[in-house]
Each structure stands twice: as C-alpha cells, then as structure tokens.
Amino acid sequence: MNLNFEGHTVIVTGAAHGFGRAIAQAFAWDGAHVWACDTNAEGLGETARLAHHDGLSIQTRTVDVSDRAAVSAFVDEVVAETGRLDVLVNNAGGVLGQVGRPLEEISGGDWQAIFRVNVDGAFYFAQAAAPTMKRQGRGRIVNISSGAGLGVSLTGIQAYASAKAAQIGLTRQLAHELGQFGITVNNVAPGFVRSNPTTERQWESYGEAGQQKLLDGIAMKRLGSPQDIANAVMFFASDQAGWVTGQVLSVDGGK
C-alpha cells in the first residue's frame, strides 16, 4: 500500500516518546508537515532533535491537552501557519504515574486527572480541528485508546480502563456527526507495547513468570512495537480508508 502525505498538515499529541514519536516520524517520512506536542519538554526536545537529524518536517510545541485554551491556541497556530489541517492524531494519554489500587482508595482528583488527559484532550483537539476540516470538506481524526478500553486494564487502574472506553465512545459518536463533512474518525487500540518509561516499569514489575504469561496470551507470542501502532494510524489517515469510520482496530498481536 503506497501512502503519500506530501504537503499534508498533521497534528500528533503526546509525541515526546513511544507511539507519538513513531507516529510523528512516520507521517514526516511520508512527506507530511507534522506539528507534535506534549507536556514533556525534554522528550519533545529529543523528538525535535531526531527530526532535525533526519531532515524531517516536525515542529514541536509544549501543550497541555487538558487545557482547552492552550489546545485551541495550538490548533489556531498550525492552521494560520499552514492554511490547512488534514490529520489529527489524539495519542496523548496514559496513567500519569498512577498504579493499581483498591477502588476505595481512589481519590476524585486521581480519577479526574486520567479522564482529563485521555478523554478531555481528545475532545478539545477534535473540537478545535473540526472547523478547518469542515471547511476543507475532508479530514482524518485518529484516536489512540488501548486494549484496556475494550476489556480490562493490565494495571488494574479503574480510571484508565474507563477513560479509554469513553474515548472509544467519543470516536463512534464523532464519526456519525462529522461523516457528512468528509471527516472520518477512527480508533487504534494497542495491546501492551514496551514504548516508554511507564511501560518499561510495568514490564519489569511482572517478573520472568509474569512476562511469559503475558506473551503466552498473545496469539503471535511476541510484543509489538511503536511502529506497529504507527502503521495502523497511517492506514486510517490514508485515502485507502476513505470509507472507513467509527471503527476500532485492535493492534495487539491477537487476543
């Protein structure tokens, strides 16, 4: 499948490492002008350094996706600079350093924090991107959820599983609302991938026996990579997926 995003403008959130960095790089390698954001300034700086080294068009900005005003300002800057917005990838999310605890120990603040970054951020970005995409008569929105949103979280974090399920619901609803304007909205649900410091700590916490148990539960008997997730995103963003919307693609090696 030949993918060409030459001259397209792409926003990727959560691009300081892992999935987000791989997605940003993949679009840039295929000719897109990528605008990448994150709150992790150090990691985002490394994304920018790697892009410069490889001659890729990736602009970086520090943006808190849970800050509606900051999101709107960032999208406005991108559109003012490029005159268009073709693809939005809502990758920012995660567990924010939280670990699995009994239900009765979860504070309201901890619960809301995970929803703000995983659900509110996707909503704010889609809301900010929609006017430009409607004006163009075309757009692609791809949300990155998790296998936790389709089942249960390996971490046992209640808010994470709930937020990712909510994000999938948002995907389906926006697909029906925006389809008439030529905008597709889809979702990639990754399985466990060692892609960032959090997942590395999670992997180590399982120990040898737990790691083997996780692998045994995967049809392909191996973990995937950030590039596997980027490949799925690229498909949803491509012309080949022009009549695909409201869908959730599990990229997990088979469960």
Catalytic residues: 160
Which letter, b or e, does each residue of 166-196 get, where b requires 16 or more Cβ atoms within 10 Å of its Cβ?
bbbebbbebbeebeeeebbbbbbbbbbbebb
Assess contact for 93 and 14: CB atoms under 8 A.
Answer: yes
Report how far residue 176's alpha carbon sits from residue 190's, in angstroms, rounded to the nearest whole number. Answer: 23
Upper half-sphere CA count for residue 169 (Cβ side, 13 Å): 10
Q: 80 is written with which tokens? A: 């003012």
Q: Please tell me the distance from the alpha carbon of residue 193 to that of residue 147, in angstroms, as a whole number.
A: 11
Residue 195: half-sphere exposure toward Cβ, Cα within 13 Å: 24
Helix locations, the chain, DSSP H: 18-29, 41-54, 68-82, 108-115, 121-136, 158-178, 197-216, 226-237
Taking each continuous run of H as one helix and of E as one strand, the counts in the chain are 8, 7
